[in-house]
Amino acid sequence: MLDFDFMRNAFAAAAIVALVAGTVGYFLVLRGQTFAGHALSHVGFAGATGAILIGLSPLAGLVIFTVAAGMLMGALGERLSGRDVAIGVVLSLSLGFGLLFLHYFTAFATQATALLFGNVFGVNPGILAALGGLGLVSMVALAVIVRPLLFATLQPELAEAKGVSLRLVSILFLAIVAIAVAECAQVVGVLLVFALMVGPAAAAQRLTSRIRLGVALSALLALVEAWLGLALSYYTDWPASFCITALSAAAYFAALIPSALARSSSGLAAELAAEPHTHHH
């Protein structure tokens, strides 16, 4: 499998994207902003198709549009929560614009499919270098803001009282999320970004409440799912995006089992304790 250049490029790209998505995604789930990640991927589709229309690379359009939208969403801050309807309208409008741009550029139908569902086997050394650069930028930026980010996430009132700007933290974090979303789109496509951004992180948070361990577990799960998905795709001829998404879902549902068992056993113990004891004389 690894004798082929395209497979080696695919594995390298999947590794970069999975590690970034697993790490950034952990904080996205922790902050309860998974819908924002979903919205950014749709905005990215309009950016990528618009970029193709004016002769730029789709990745450039993806990054520019998602980062701009992410910073705008961060600036709206708390007013964004509870605005699911507004975000939903923006989502559908973004996809609509994407389709409009494609209408004028029908020659790029295959590129559109790659944008929507990913085309990890089409990654060339140029895109690989761009993914590596973007990955490095997002991880360094996350490392710089991680302390105020955690503080603002876990104790927002106290953080604000201590002088942490919640809005600035939100803007910077969603800009980092936007870069991660743009990278994910190269592997699984804009419609399936959830598979790498949210699935591993949600599973990790089910398995441990310790933050450092959770971040490491989330990144590891994303990497394993991405690599296993590529291998499965190679040997079955199924789409890589489907394989990665299916593995992500399987890992998440498997992570639900321990807590479900714990709940049922504690419920059973409570029932037994509540039963009246009969004494025989």
**Rounded average pLDDT over 194-217:** 91
Token pair listed for 159? 């953080």
Q: pLDDT digit string (tens) for 143-167?
A: 999 998 888 888 888 888 888 888 8
Number of structural domains in the chain: 1
Residue 78 has pLDDT above 70, yes or no: no
| CB burial of residue 131 (10 Å; 0-12, 13-18, 19+) | buried
Specify if 78 maps to a domain: yes
DSSP one-letter code for 57 = -
Specify if 226 maps to a domain: no
Is this prediction's pTM over 0.85? no
Specify if 127 maps to a domain: yes
Query: Among 48, 41, 36, 35, which Cα is nearest to 98's?
Result: 48
Q: Which domain holds residue 152?
A: 5-197
Apex 26 CA angle, 134 and 198, nearest 5:
85
Q: pLDDT digit string (tens) for 88-132?
A: 777 788 888 888 887 777 666 677 777 778 788 888 888 889 899
What integer pLDDT is reported at residue 251 of this predicted model? 93
Token pair listed for 133? 């650069």
Per-residue confidence band for 140, with pLDDT thresholds at 50, 70 and 90: very high
Per-residue confidence band for 82, with pLDDT thresholds at 50, 70 and 90: low
Specify if 54 maps to a domain: yes
What integer pLDDT is reported at residue 83 of this predicted model? 61
Specify if 89 maps to a domain: yes
What integer pLDDT is reported at residue 162 of this predicted model? 86
Token pair listed for 102? 């494609």
What integer pLDDT is reported at residue 253 of this predicted model? 93
The helix/strand/coil state of 81 is coil
**Rounded average pLDDT over 44-49:** 84
What integer pLDDT is reported at residue 107 of this predicted model? 63
Specify if 207 maps to a domain: no
Specify if 163 maps to a domain: yes
Specify if 239 maps to a domain: no
- CATH code (residue 131): 1.10.3470.10
